[in-house]
Structure formats: C-alpha cells, structure tokens
Amino acid sequence: MLKKFDKKDEESGGGSNPFQHLEKSAVLQEARVFNETPINPRKCAHILTKILYLINQGEHLGTTEATEAFFAMTKLFQSNDPTLRRMCYLTIKEMSCIAEDVIIVTSSLTKDMTGKEDNYRGPAVRALCQITDSTMLQAIERYMKQAIVDKVPSVSSSALVSSLHLLKCSFDVVKRWVNEAQEAASSDNIMVQYHALGLLYHVRKNDRLAVSKMISKFTRHSLKSPFAYCMMIRVASKQLEEEDGSHDSPLFDFIESCLRNKHEMVVYEAASAIVNLPGCSAKELAPAVSVLQLFCSSPKAALRYAAVRTLNKVAMKHPSAVTACNLDLENLVTDSNRSIATLAITTLLKTGSESSIDRLMKQISSFMSEISDEFKVVVVQAISALCQKYPRKHAVLMNFLFTMLREEGGFEYKRAIVDCIISIIEENSESKETGLSHLCEFIEDCEFTVLATRILHLLGQEGPKTNNPSKYIRFIYNRVVLEHEEVRAGAVSALAKFGAQNEEMLPSILVLLKRCVMDDDNEVRDRATFYLNVLEQKQKALNAGYILNGLTVSIPGLERALQQYTLEPSEKPFDLKSVPLATTPLAEQRTESAPISAVKQPEKVAATRQEIFQEQLAAVPEFRGLGPLFKSSPEPVALTESETEYVIRCTKHTFTNHMVFQFDCTNTLNDQTLENVTVQMEPTEAYEVLCYVPTRSLPYNQPGTCYTLVALPKEDPTAVACMFSCMLKFTVKDCDPTTGETDDEGYEDEYVLEDLEVTVADHIQKVMKLNFEAAWDEVGDEFEKEETFTLSTIKTLEEAVGNIVKFLGMHPCERSDKVPDNKNTHTLLLAGVFRGGHDILVRSRLLLLDTVTMQVTARSSEELPVDIVLASVG
Amino acid sequence: IFMSLQEPSLYTVKAILILDNDGDRLFAKYYDDTYPSVKEQKAFEKNIFNKTHRTDSEIALLEGLTVVYKSSIDLYFYVIGSSYENELMLMAVLNCLFDSLSQMLRGYRKNVEKRALLENMEGLFLAVDEIVDGGVILESDPQQVVHRVALRGEDVPLTEQTVSQVLQSAKEQIKWSLLR
C-alpha cells in the first residue's frame, strides 16, 4: 500500500505541486499578510492564486470568511505591481457573488479603468461591470460609453462584452449605448467588430426592421472578422427562417457568398446554415454540400467531424444530395476518430444502396464497443430508417439490434433499440414473433424499469394475437415472481389481457392472477383483484371497457375533478364523462427519432397545453359554470397575415354546450396603444354570441388575449359546422415610440379579420382504442347508422384515408391509417369521444375503382354524435 | 424541431477544463448552468476523461455537448460548447489557450506539462480570463493574450530563481537516495 502511494506521488510530481494539500483555513489565515506594509507583491499574488485555486477546485467559501479576505485584498490596490493588480481583478470577479459589500472597490476600479495603464483598463472594466447593479450603472455610464469607443482594442472589447452581460439586468440603460456600439462596429480590430455586432444584435433582436437594416449595412462591405461573419450568418439565417418565404433574397445570397470566404470557420458556418434552412431545394444545397465534401479530406479532425456531421443531417432529408460524397465518406469509415467513422457509416447507410448494407453493418460492429452512447443512438436511428426503406433487410438488421441489446449500454441507448424493434414489429407482421421472443429474452435481465414495463405492455397487446400465445405466459409470470413492484404490476396487467382475449387460456390465467392477489405491494394486489373480478364475469363488453381499452381521461384532470367532487358534496354519483380527456394518446408520446443532441432533456411530465388553457379559462369570471373544458384546437389559426399592423391568432375551446374563442393579439405599431380590444363575431348558423371579454390594454409588442363566448345551436343540434366572420374592435390611443407616453384622448376603430371556421373535428376528441373490435362490440349497435358516399375528386386510397382522418379529427386505430400497397380496398377504423363524453366509433370501408367509394358505419352510445358525423361527411 | 436554428448569440463556450493524467481537475471554469453543482461538474469531468484520454482524436460528442480537446505530456485541455456550436470556433479557443500557455511557459524554458503549469497558475488564470469572458470569446490571438497577461517573467532576480531551483533539485536527490 505504502509503495503504491509513493509511486503515484512521484508520477504526478506530487512533491512539487504547491497546491496539492491546501487547507482553506490556512490559506485564509495567510491572507492577513495583505495588511502588512510594505506589500510584498510576489507573496501576495501567490496567496491570491491559492485562494482562486481553492475556489476553482469547488471549495465552498462562507460569506463571512470571503468578505474578510475580500476586505484584506482591497489593501493590495496600494501596490502598483501589474500582476498583483490583475490577480486582484480576478479575485473581485470570483468573489463578487460570495462576499458582501464588494462595491467598495468601485472607485479603485473606476480609477484604473480611466487611468493611463492600458493593461489595467480592459480587465478593470470587466471587473467593475461584474460588481455593478442597475442602480449604480447610471453613475459609470459616461465611462462605459467612452470605453466602448476607446482606441485600445482590449478596452473597447471589454466594455462591449461587459455591456452584453449587463443587458440581462439593465437592458434600458445599455440600449442607450447603441451609437457607441455602432461606431465600434466599424473598428479595424477583428474582435472589437465581432463584439460590437453581437451587442447591437442583442439590443435590437426584437425589432425585425432594425435587424434587417443592420444585416444589409454590415454585409454590403466585407467584414474583417471571421467571428463577425459567423455571427451575421446566424442572424441572416434566423431572419430567413422567420420570413419562411423564398430563398430568392439578398439574405440567402449573403450566406451563399460566405461559402467562398477564405476562413474555413466562415465557410463551414455558411454551409451548416444552408443545410439547416427549412425547405431548401437540392439545387440550393449543392454548393454547401460540395464545400462539406472538400472538408471531408481535411487533416483537421474537427473539420472532418463538422463536415460529416452536417452531411449526416442533409442525408436525413435529401439522401440523393449526398450521394456525390459517397467516395469521400467511404474513406472516413476507417477514421481513427470513431465519432467521425460512425457518422460516415450512418450517412452511407442513408445514401448507399441496399447491397452495401451488410458490409457497412459488419464494419460498424467491429468498433461498436469503442464509441460513446450518443453515437450508438445515431447508429440505431440509422438502422431504424433503413428498416423503413428496405423491408427485405429486416433479418440482418434485427439480428444486429438484438446483439446490441445484449451488450452493455445506458438507458437512452437501450431505449432507442427497444423503440426501433417495436416499430419494426408494428410495421411488419412477419417479424412480430421473432421480435417478441427476443424482447421476452431481454426483460429476463433488464435493469431499466421503464423498458421492462413498456415491453410487458406490448406483450399484453400483441401476444394474444399471435399463433401461439401461451409461450409468452412463462416470461410474463417470471416477472411477477422475480421483479420489484412496478414491473410486477405491469406483468399482472399483461396477463389479464391474455385472459380477456383467449378463452382457452382463461382458466390458467385465473389461477396465476389468484396467486398475485396475495402480493406485498398495494398496486399489484389491487390490479390482480380488479382483473380477476372482471375476468370472472366472462362478459366481452366488460373485458373491452376495463381491460383491453383502458381509461382515456387525462390523469391530472381526473385528480382535479375528484377533488372538486369531494369539496362539493352532492347526491349525484361522480360522472366520469365530466373529466377532460387525455389529449395525446400514450402511444403517440413516443418522440420520433430524437436528435442526438437533444438526448439530454429532463424527462418530466409537463402540464399539457390543454391543462394550461383550462387553468387560464377558469380564471375568467364570465366562463364560470361552463363545465369542464372538452377540447382545445391543436394549432392556433392565424386570422391576419404575419406582416400586418395587428397579429391575431385564434384557439378554439369546446365545452359541453358552449365554445370559447381565444384571440391572442399583438400590436406591431410602436406609435399606438390599443384599449378595450374585442373580436366581434357573426355566425352563419344558429350559434349565439353570449359575451365578449376584452383585453383592457394592448401596448406595442406586448401580447394580450381577448375572448368571445358563444352558445351552441339549440334548435338544430346537428348544425355544428359553421363559419364566423370576425372583426377586431378597439380604441386607439397614439403614443410616443421612444418614451412610451400615451395620449389621453383616443378614437374608436375597426379592423377586418379573416373568417373563422368551426368544423365537426372541433367537437370530437381523438381517443386511442388499443383494441378496436372490443370497443366496437362494447358500444353496441343501438345507434348504428350506415351510409355510402362517392368521393369523386379523390384518386387514391391514401389520399382518402388522410382526408377522412383530418376531417373528422378522430384517432386511427389498429394502424388502419396505413394503406398496404397494391390493394384496392381498405378499412379505416376511427375512434373518438364526442363533446359531452360519448364514445363515437367509425368504420369506413373504402373501395377504389376509378374514384373512391366509401361506406361509413358510425356507432355511439347516443344518437346525436352519429347524426352529426354522417351529416358532416355528406 | 431540431433542424430549426439556435438563437444567434455571442455566448459560445460552456466550459474550459484542464485535467491531469489521473483525470483530476487542475483548472475548471463553467460559464453557464449546464452543470450547476460541483458534484455534477466532477461527474462530467470524469466521464469526459474516461472517454477521451486514451484517444488522440481531438473532438467528441458527450452528454449532448461538443467537446474539443488536446493533450500535452501529462495534461488534458478541453473546451466545451453546445452541440449546435460551430466546432471550429471552439477549436479556435482551444488552440489559443494552448498556444498562449506554451508561449508563456517557453519564457521559462518549460514545456506545457503539469509541474510547469502549477508553477505558473496565476499566468493560467490570467490567460483564460483574457480568452473567454463569461462564455464570450474575448480574444483568439495567442500573441495578444500573452502580451496582455504581461507576466513579470525576466525581471525575477536571477539569484532567487537559481536558489529555489537548487533547493528543488537537492530535495529530489535526497528523495531518490531515501527511496533506494
């Protein structure tokens, strides 16, 4: 032991590390030397270094001890030793948020900042700004303005960068310095120019016009600094993206011209900006791709990495645009930087031909163990994409996935593999059995609870439909015996699903469930008891409602409704129909091929959009007594063009007997304040406008919300589809754009908006039925209606399916939204819940001859929803 | 969504790290809250070191961040930025840091290695302060950085330096003789 210790000591040069065994208290003790005169600069600087080293190592300094050391340090300003002074600045910055009363050094720093010693001035500016708050900033404003335009670059840069930091808390003061920043932007020094442009952009970024002017001004003459070019490329591409118009603009020309810059950094930034622009055509991409191709053979690893990573992005959307680089990518397959090699291979997998798959997969498996989890996920995503492209390669790819699944790896990586296997199983019925049995094997030894429960859920769903369902029971029941409670609960649910769908197996399932009734855990025991009792009834409708298709309500909504119910005692039993529905079915919450860079996202369940709306609406007194919010339209509809004076977007909220239209308004005129803003609405059908809830005041660029409440038609309840003409009404008060002062007098004005449409989809909430047939039987045929339609304008089954799903706003079940190739008949199964809480199910048989003929059968537990659906289709 | 661009910003660098060949921190400066606590920082540093110290491949993607790195004898230099960041900009920071330090240490006729760096810790602190300020690249030219740090180098009395060197080598010799 002793020997080993010595060896390490000697290797790391421990004997000569002056900082190795520093004691905080001893170092702070030493700081007393600061009070001695004359000051010994060398010694004092060394003590400051020790203090900084301790902070750097993560040592925690208490407020009192930090303040004490800080005050002692202020004495050191008496010395004129340059290094000591510079160390003082660093100490001030490090301690600015630990020690108290750090502002006492303000005058010393102001003196240094305006003094003769150039090497002090820049660092003094930065230290000063670090300890200055917005109230004190006014006092040094004059010096800051001077410093920004100082001819010494380090002073100017320091002032600009500090101003940028100060924007966060003192925006209003710093924005008065734009003239100085503007002057600095024409500096010959490359860093000053970069910092000045950055500050100007940050001050103006909310003013589109000013940003446009800035771009055209600074891109016309060539910039000196490559960093400034990169910054301007980013600003230009953001502007382009927001215009989301054509790329036939000076902005795009500027970015493209940067592809010919002499600095690689700028060329790469421009290429990457073009690749990231949404909706780029292959022709627009071509020049970017060719510079990236050149970078692939650079001797610099960082450049090769950057290039191949960007090409990989291109290949996701435009594989053909990258085909020209295949040869260069092949050379990178053996790159000693495994990240580069992996990216090259996954790019080739996207662009190459089917025949190269086997070879590339073999290559990549040779170094799979050497690459980081992030890149393993990239590989899995590439495989996932391949499976969709080349269905015939399933066997090879599945095998590869199973090998990876057996090896070591973190959660994200394993989850990506499981996701990929599950999507293969769902897409291809022939691979289902192999896939399921491999997953069974995986959960035998799986450390991730989330994955185990997910697979158990899948087994419960898919297992009973296979040829030999009994073989899965052993794997599932093993979980009940061996795992902890969450997995056991999942396994119990899976068992119940087998029992509900397969009569032969029911007796043995009942035996297994009876054993679980004695479980230690409440949840497991409850589930087992519940399922056992339901299954023993031997009724199909019960099985469908309580085992195969679970609750579709939103869980936080249920909690709130139940709490409300307990607060207001009532004779009536609790009505499940009063609970808002879950907006996204569980199966859809799976993110589609998350980008590798977004891996590090916290996995918390945020309040859904609808829950946020529910809270907001509940706070408006006019909307009391409307009952629970049933549905909010998924995307706000724009009622104005994006470049107009006022920007209005509408979200539709549906309640049991009412609708609320929420208008999010923005006033883009800086010389006006609007007051008492409402949207007046005129319906074409028997809707009745009940009241308007105005926005009291709408100042420039501050969003506001107003509402319109309408009652649904009572006379003819099937006439739910309706057009509303809309008009914005308000009082205008002129105001001064610079000071924000408003005139007292105003005048009434109006502004015509686009019409707003309410469709049948606004009255139906999507609901996922995992087992459609069971749900169909459960609803029964009491209110079944059937009609046949001809869709004369539609030429393909895919188009028909897409239109129907979109029009009715219902959820396609059993993957019936996927139309198999080369078929001329198809059955689409849709599920939803109608306003008021009644299930509505639609089976739509489609026949393609020259046009599409459609037979629609609708079922519900009430007549009205069926009538509305059929009336709207006709 | 991930195709959409990040907000243009001057805040480029998330962290600068220097580790020794055991993966222990010699210097670390984090410029944002990606790793708010010392515990998370040390865990990140450990992960980074494990993934990089055996290869000389200069760039990697770890924990969703782009890491550019360089090693010199018994030191490992890292510059970390967002995965959306221009890799070459991060590289410019890394090169500037490394070149500044090697110029400064050359003044003492030393290589960029752990012992020399520890003896010139104040130079390191000042250099980093001149290169990156609060995550913004302040300077990328090593000449400028060295000039601004302007360490008192040659003005150290020769005698003082020699005495301490003599003492040091004497200590070393005694240590060796004891070990034998």
pLDDT band at A537 (very low <50, low <70, confident <90, very high): confident
The predicted pLDDT at position A101 comes to: 85
With 0.80 as the threshold, say if the pTM is over it. Answer: no
Q: Cβ of B84 under 8 Å from any chain A Cβ? A: yes
Q: Do A82 and B150 touch (CB under 8 A)?
A: yes
Decide the pairing of beta strands A825-834 and A838-848.
Answer: antiparallel
Average pLDDT over residues A749-763: 89
Whether residue A430 sits in one domain with residue A521: no
**In A, which residues are within 8 Å of B62 by CB distance?**
372, 374
Whether residue A840 sits in one domain with residue A810: yes
- To 5 degrees, how large is the angle CA A264–CA A364–CA A600? 65
Q: Do A265 and B92 touch (CB under 8 A)?
A: yes
Distance to chain B for A56, nearest Cα, Å: 6
Q: Do B5 and A122 touch (CB under 8 A)?
A: no
Q: Name the residue with tokens 């006022």.
A: A646
Q: Do B125 and A276 touch (CB under 8 A)?
A: no
Angstrom distance (rounded) from CA B49 to CA B63: 13
Number of structural domains found in chain A? 5
Average pLDDT over residues B70-86: 93
For the cut 70, the answer to whether the pLDDT of residue A437 exceeds it is yes
The predicted pLDDT at position A590 comes to: 37
The predicted pLDDT at position B163 comes to: 57
Identity of the residue numbered B65: L
The predicted pLDDT at position A88 comes to: 93
Q: Output A292 or A277, whichever has higher pLDDT.
A: A292
Whether residue A748 sits in one domain with residue A621: yes
Average pLDDT over residues A166-172: 89
Which tens digits make up the pLDDT trace of B93-137?
A: 999 999 999 999 887 778 888 989 998 899 999 999 999 999 999
Last residue of a domain, one of A445, A479, A504: A445
Q: What percent of chain A has pLDDT over 70?
A: 94
Q: Do A164 and B136 touch (CB under 8 A)?
A: yes
The predicted pLDDT at position A709 comes to: 92
Distance to chain B for A616, nearest Cα, Å: 27
Whether residue A621 sits in one domain with residue A732: yes
Q: Do A46 and B122 touch (CB under 8 A)?
A: yes
Nearest CA in chain A to B62: A374
Q: Is A666 a member of any domain?
A: yes
Angstrom distance (rounded) from CA A459 to CA A457: 5
**In B, which residues are within 8 Å of A265 by CB distance?**
86, 88-89, 92
The predicted pLDDT at position B75 comes to: 93
Which of these, A334, A287, A339, A337, lies nearest to A312 by C-alpha position? A339
For the cut 50, the answer to whether the pLDDT of residue A33 exceeds it is yes
The predicted pLDDT at position A246 comes to: 62
- Report the greatest alpha carbon distance in chain A: 102
The predicted pLDDT at position A632 comes to: 86
Pick from A251-265, A374-388, A665-679: least confident: A374-388
Q: Do B179 and A303 touch (CB under 8 A)?
A: no
Whether residue A379 sits in one domain with residue A500: no
Q: Is A590 a member of any domain?
A: no
Whether residue A711 sits in one domain with residue A617: yes
Nearest CA in chain B to A118: B148
Which of these, A304, A306, A310, lies nearest to A277 by C-alpha position? A310
Average pLDDT over residues A511-518: 88
Three-state secondary structure string covering A696-708: EEECECCCEEEEE
Q: Do B129 and A305 touch (CB under 8 A)?
A: no
Angstrom distance (rounded) from CA B61 to CA B77: 15
Whether residue A751 sits in one domain with residue A722: yes
Distance to chain A for B6, nearest Cα, Å: 8
Q: Output A398 or B131, whichever has higher pLDDT.
A: B131
Chains A–B, number of C-beta pairs less than 8 Å apart: 194
The predicted pLDDT at position A293 comes to: 94
Which tens digits make up the pLDDT trace of A602-624?
A: 333 445 777 788 888 888 888 88
Distance to chain A for B43, nearest Cα, Å: 13
The predicted pLDDT at position A602 comes to: 37
For the cut 70, the answer to whether the pLDDT of residue A2 exceeds it is no
Q: At A421, give phi and psi (nearest 5°).
A: -60, -45
Cα separations in angstroms, A846 against A740, A797, A871: 62, 7, 18
Q: Output A129 or A585, whichever has higher pLDDT.
A: A129
The domain B13-153 having CATH identifier 1.20.1260.10: the answer here is no
Whether residue A623 sits in one domain with residue A509: no
The predicted pLDDT at position A207 comes to: 84
In the structure encoding, which two tokens stand for residue A296, read together? 């692939």
Q: Do A336 and B55 touch (CB under 8 A)?
A: yes
Cα separations in angstroms, A429 against A151, A422, A423, A460: 73, 11, 11, 16
Nearest CA in chain B to A273: B5
Which of these, A66, A124, A303, A564, lies nearest to B59 by C-alpha position? A303
Q: Output B27 or A213, whichever has higher pLDDT.
A: B27
Nearest to B115 among A13, A234, A278 (CB): A13
In the structure encoding, which two tokens stand for residue A650, read together? 């509408």
The predicted pLDDT at position A226 comes to: 92
Q: Is A112 a member of any domain?
A: no
For the cut 70, the answer to whether the pLDDT of residue A585 exceeds it is no
Angstrom distance (rounded) from CA A699 to CA A670: 8
Q: Output B126 or A119, whichever has higher pLDDT.
A: B126
Which tens digits make up the pLDDT trace of A466-510?
A: 888 888 988 888 888 887 888 899 999 999 988 888 888 888 889
Pick from A149-163, A361-375, A527-541: least confident: A361-375
Q: Cβ of B115 under 8 Å from any chain A Cβ? A: yes
The predicted pLDDT at position A662 comes to: 92
Last residue of a domain, one of A229, A260, A280: A280
Last residue of a domain, one of A395, A429, A445: A445
The predicted pLDDT at position A247 comes to: 65
Whether residue A465 sits in one domain with residue A432: no
CB A182 within 8 A of CB A218: no
Computed over every residue of chain A, the mean pLDDT equals 84
**In B, which residues are within 8 Å of A243 by CB distance?**
none
Nearest to A305 among B59, B84, B171 (CB): B59
Half-sphere exposure of A214 (CA within 13 A, CB side): 30
Q: Is A105 a member of any domain?
A: no
The predicted pLDDT at position A322 comes to: 87
How far is CA A386 from its chain centroid? 25
Q: Is A494 a member of any domain?
A: yes
Distance to chain A for B10, nearest Cα, Å: 6
Q: Where residue A723 sits, what CATH number does that domain have?
A: 2.60.40.1480
Q: Is A170 a member of any domain?
A: no
In the structure encoding, which two tokens stand for residue A452, read together? 């185990």
Nearest to A56 among B21, B28, B89 (CB): B28
Nearest to B137 among A19, A227, A596 (CB): A227
Nearest to A302 among B68, B115, B144 (CB): B68
Q: For residue A486, what are the domain limits?
A: 446-548
Distance to chain B for A329, nearest Cα, Å: 18
Whether residue A857 sits in one domain with residue A794: yes
Q: What percent of chain A has pLDDT over 90?
A: 23
Q: Where residue A842 sits, what CATH number does that domain have?
A: 3.30.310.10
Q: Do B5 and A237 touch (CB under 8 A)?
A: yes
The predicted pLDDT at position A607 comes to: 58
Whether residue A754 sits in one domain with residue A615: yes
Q: Do A265 and B171 touch (CB under 8 A)?
A: no
Interface test with A, best of B40, B48, B87 (most A CBs within 10 A): B87
Whether residue A751 sits in one domain with residue A625: yes
Nearest CA in chain B to A15: B172
Q: Do B114 and A13 touch (CB under 8 A)?
A: yes
Burial track B120-147 (b if 16+ CB lie within 10 A, e otherwise): bbbbbbbbbbbbbbbbbbbbbebebbbe
Q: Computed from CA positions of residues A435, A438, A444, A450, in that sequence, does the dihedral angle turn out positive or negative?
A: negative
Q: Do A158 and B133 touch (CB under 8 A)?
A: yes
The predicted pLDDT at position B6 comes to: 66
**In B, which residues are within 8 Å of A89 by CB distance?**
129
Q: Cβ of B29 under 8 Å from any chain A Cβ? A: yes
For the cut 70, the answer to whether the pLDDT of residue A745 exceeds it is yes
The predicted pLDDT at position A16 comes to: 58
CB B44 within 8 A of CB B70: no
For the cut 80, the answer to whether the pLDDT of residue A564 exceeds it is no
Angstrom distance (rounded) from CA A501 to CA A549: 12
